[in-house]
Amino acid sequence: VERLDLTCGALPSDQYTQAIDQGAPEPFLELYTRMAEHRFAFAVTELLKLNPAYMTALENYCRDKGKTLKAAKLSTVEAAYELINASVLDGMPWDDVKNVTVVETNRIIWKKLQETHQEAWDKVGGNLEIYYQLQTCFIQGLLDGSNILFNNEQNELFTLSIEPQEA
């Protein structure tokens, strides 16, 4: 943990509301989020340098973490999209980083307008592709037990769709 703190900065041990400037929460949120992302990228990169086989354990951990955050049985792509948006930070809430291009009863498609994670992974000498692999595992966990499928095309185009029912 000391190496993580020295390399990426230490996160405040206080609760968020006690650690921020109540008059200007946005700069702290951005700093806190950037620091947390750098810490994640660094920890994952260092673990995989020790042993690339740890990737399986990291994937399982992310999938299991997604399962624990799953609020309820998801039955619509809209509910799944809202859950993903609430659980996976992609830029700051005020940033324009994605554009929903298709909204249908059984499908939502969104396009990423800018890459928000590259800086953290580059800073620690990591591979951004690993972030997206772990993110996909986390989302699979969120969607576990539902008939909703998640697809990531080249980390730019994302789709949620209802799995076709067998006749």
For residue range 12-57, list pLDDT tens digits in order: 666 656 666 667 666 677 777 788 888 899 999 999 999 999 999 9
Which of 26-40, 100-114, 122-136 is the least confident region? 26-40
Given pLDDT bands bounded at 50, 70 and 90, which one contains residue 62? Answer: very high
Please, what is the angle between helix 54-69 and helix 128-143, to 10°? 40
Question: Phi and psi of 147, rounded to 5°?
Answer: -100, 25
CA distance 33 to 110: 23
Mean predicted lDDT score pLDDT of the chain:
85
- Taking the CA atoms of residue 152, residue 156, residue 162 and residue 165 in that order, the dihedral angle to the nearest 10 degrees is -50
CA distance 159 to 111: 9
Name the more confident of 91 and 127: 127
Pair of tokens at residue 118: 């590259």
Residues 6+ apart with CB under 8 A from 152: 132, 135, 136, 158
Average pLDDT over residues 94-102: 83
